[in-house]
Amino acid sequence: MSLSSKKLVKLVFVALAVFLFVASVVRCSVYAYTGDEAYARMAEADGSLRQAFGAVADAAGAGANVSGLTFELDAAGGLLAQANASYRVGDFGNATLFAEQSIGSLVGVVQEAGNLKAAADSDRLSQLGWTASFSSVGLSLLFVLGLFGWRFLRNRYFEGVLEMRPEEAAGS
């Protein structure tokens, strides 16, 4: 095969690739979503939101600061609300678009919530360990000092009793 033939074949392949790419883009831009497709995407978005909410609620229950994640949930919920509004007026394209944006905005939320929960659990365990240690040391000290204190107090008491002198009653 000569050099010019190779160039020609290469050119045809490049042209074919460009054609396929343009055709796929044009096809996507004119594709109309059906109500069923929109509904399915919205259900998927709702499922993602529910899963993310569960994870964030668990993290919040463990004592983690989830204000950032709540903000992300709010944003995703807002997009899903817009998807529902679009669906109600029969705008299935926008409904699908908003639902997909909602799904996209939740990427990583579950994992981040899991990390925050693990950190919160770890912090809580650590705090519990310290508190239990202080309590144990405190109780031990109380026990030991209590025994010494009691011995001291008891001796003082009996010394006081022994130093007492009988007093004569007046007029006897």
Partner 1 sequence: MGFSDLKLVYVVSCVVLGLIIVAPTVAEFVVLPGGERFSELWLLGQGRMAEDYPFNVRAGESYGFYLGLGNHMGGLEDYLVFVKFRNQSESLPDSVNGTASVLEPVFEYRVFLGDGGVWEREVRLGFEGVVFDGNVCRVSRVVLDGVVLSVDKVAVWDSVNKGFYCQLFFELWFYNSTLSGFQYHDRFVGMWLNMTVPS
Residues forming the site for partner 1 (CB under 8 A) = 49-50, 53, 56-57, 60-61, 66-67, 70, 73-74, 77-78, 80-82, 84-85, 88-89, 124, 127-128, 131-132, 134-135, 138-139, 142, 146, 149-150, 153, 157
| CB-nearer residue toward partner 1: 88 or 165 | 88
| CB-nearer residue toward partner 1: 24 or 140 | 140
| CB-nearer residue toward partner 1: 9 or 54 | 54
Least Å distance, CB 170 to partner 1, is: 25
Least Å distance, CB 4 to partner 1, is: 60
| CB-nearer residue toward partner 1: 15 or 85 | 85
Instruction: Return the HEC string of the chain.
Output: CCHHHHHHHHHHHHHHHHHHHHHHHHHHHHCCCCHHHHHHHHHHHHHHHHHHHHHHHHHHHCCCCCHHHHHHHHHHHHHHHHHHHHHHCCCHHHHHHHHHHHHHHCCCHHHHHHHHHHHHHHHHHHHHHHHHHHHHHHHHHHHHHHHHHHHHHHHHHHHHHHCCCCCCCCCC
